[in-house]
Amino acid sequence: MKILVLNAGSSSQKSCLYDLKDALPDLPPEPVWEAMVDWTHHQGFASVKVKTLHGKTLQTEIEATSRPQVITYMLETLWNGEDAVIKHPSEIDLVGHRVVHGGAIYRQSIIINAEVKAAIAQLADFAPVHNPANLEGITTAEKIFGDIPQIAVFDTAFHAHLPPAAYTYAIPTKYTNQGIRRYGFHGISHQYCRDRAAQILNHPIADLRLITCHLGNGCSLAAIRNGQSIDTTMGFTPLEGLVMGSRSGSIDAGILIHLLRQPDMDINKLDHILNSESGLLGISEISGDMRSIFQAIAEGNPQAQLAFDVYVHSLRSHIGSMLASLGGLDVLVFTAGVGENSAAVRATACEGFEFLGLKIDLEKNNQRMLDVDIAAADSSVRILVIHTQEDWEIARECWNLQ
């Protein structure tokens, strides 16, 4: 079975093709074809990179007038040119789409029909950048592949079982009735890490209390009990919770009121400040990329040191909050760009929790290995570094639903 996965970001589009045989493999297989389009570098143009399992690569730049045109170009490399891995689009059996917002309606993945498309469009109110991009991916794939099943896998769905006390904001009910509540995001990654953690530890999921720390450009935590997310740090939007690369995370809402009263402020500017100019970037005034922060710290830059300290303080306090919701902890998971690569972030985050009997093995932590347990042998909590595989999780959801 050939499953194509489409994963749209605000200014990027990733895609990959899995070719599965009779059964779902235990470990993520290598995709037979992977493509990545990025249109941030050069106005009006998009850079396209394609890699196949057979070692062929393509790197080019195309004029980009619209997302559907770029997606079409990218997908045509599946059957056109030197990197072709199939003969004809009809060989694709299923298309899985990462859809950022499923609102309160979609609590699990679903086969896309007209009603689902209308709901995704309506939910653009809550995710104005991502849901329209996801919808364009869906309609473009429909045009190319015709009447094959397409499946929406929602980033919010894994958090659909949060209890009311965790998802309700303490604002007047007439606003919560408009759908303003905690939804949580990164669900596809948290779900993958839950299953991979149980597999690595060879332990039933239902017996584990986990905190999964997805630390990429965007950052969020999930508290998982009985296999379900019962609390998470992102909220109504992905802006809440942890300090991130360029997002502020949770700040006193009074600051927003104060800023909005300033004469040169407007809503779009405030949106840009909080989502794109804050976090590590805002404090350091250098970069939102943790690697540049470390470099600046090594050069003695005090603002970079402060950015790191605030990031870790926020991470620890939110881990503490997830811990309270869980009532204990068996497994702490680090994943995504920072979580998988930064031994310093992992070690410093763990320092706050030694009172629990949680002990990191500093030697293992420094070994740069993935899908391993880096806790000391006598630690009461296992500490895992897991390479998140969101595209594979989407493909698994498709396989399970077909």
Residues that bind ligand ADP (CB under 6 A): 216-218, 245, 289-291, 336-338, 341-342
Residue 307 exposed, middle or buried by CB count within 10 Å (0-12, 13-18, 19+)? buried
DSSP E strands in 159-208: the ranges are none
Which pair of tokens denotes residue 264? 């040169």
If the CB atoms of residues 278 and 379 are measured against ligand ADP, the closer one turns out to be 278
- Catalytic residue, from 19, 83, 155, 391: name it: 155
| Strand 33-38 versus strand 45-52 pairing type | antiparallel
If the CB atoms of residues 191 and 342 are measured against ligand ADP, the closer one turns out to be 342
The question of whether 373 is a catalytic residue gets the answer no
Helix (H) or strand (E) holding 166: helix 164-167
Output phi, psi for 127, to 5 deg. -130, 75
If the CB atoms of residues 77 and 342 are measured against ligand ADP, the closer one turns out to be 342
Please give the Cα distance from 309 to 302 (Å, whole number).
Answer: 10
CB 276, min distance to ligand ADP, A:
13
If the CB atoms of residues 98 and 382 are measured against ligand ADP, the closer one turns out to be 98
If the CB atoms of residues 332 and 336 are measured against ligand ADP, the closer one turns out to be 336
CB 351, min distance to ligand ADP, A:
18
DSSP class per residue in 237-258: STTSSS--SS---S--HHHHHH
Angle between helix 343-351 and helix 302-326 axes, rounded to 10 deg: 60
Helix (H) or strand (E) holding 303: helix 302-326
- Return the sign of the alpha-carbon dihedral for residues 270, 273, 274, 275: positive
Reduced to 3 states, what is the DSSP secondary structure of residue 195?
helix
CB 97, min distance to ligand ADP, A:
17
Output phi, psi for 37, to 5 deg. -120, 140
CB 368, min distance to ligand ADP, A:
9
Q: How many CB atoms lie within 10 A of CB 267?
A: 8
Please give the Cα distance from 387 to 337 (Å, whole number).
Answer: 9
**Vertex 343: Cα angle to 289 and 301 (nearest 5):** 50
If the CB atoms of residues 75 and 338 are measured against ligand ADP, the closer one turns out to be 338
Which pair of tokens denotes residue 204? 């039933």
Length of the chain: 402
Q: Which residues contact 50 (CB under 8 A, 6 or more apart)?
A: 33, 34, 35, 36, 56, 57, 58, 59, 74, 77, 83
Task: Please measure the distance between the N-terminal and C-terminal CA atoms of the chain and give it in whole angstroms.
Answer: 11
If the CB atoms of residues 215 and 274 are measured against ligand ADP, the closer one turns out to be 215
Just list the catalytic residues. Answer: 155
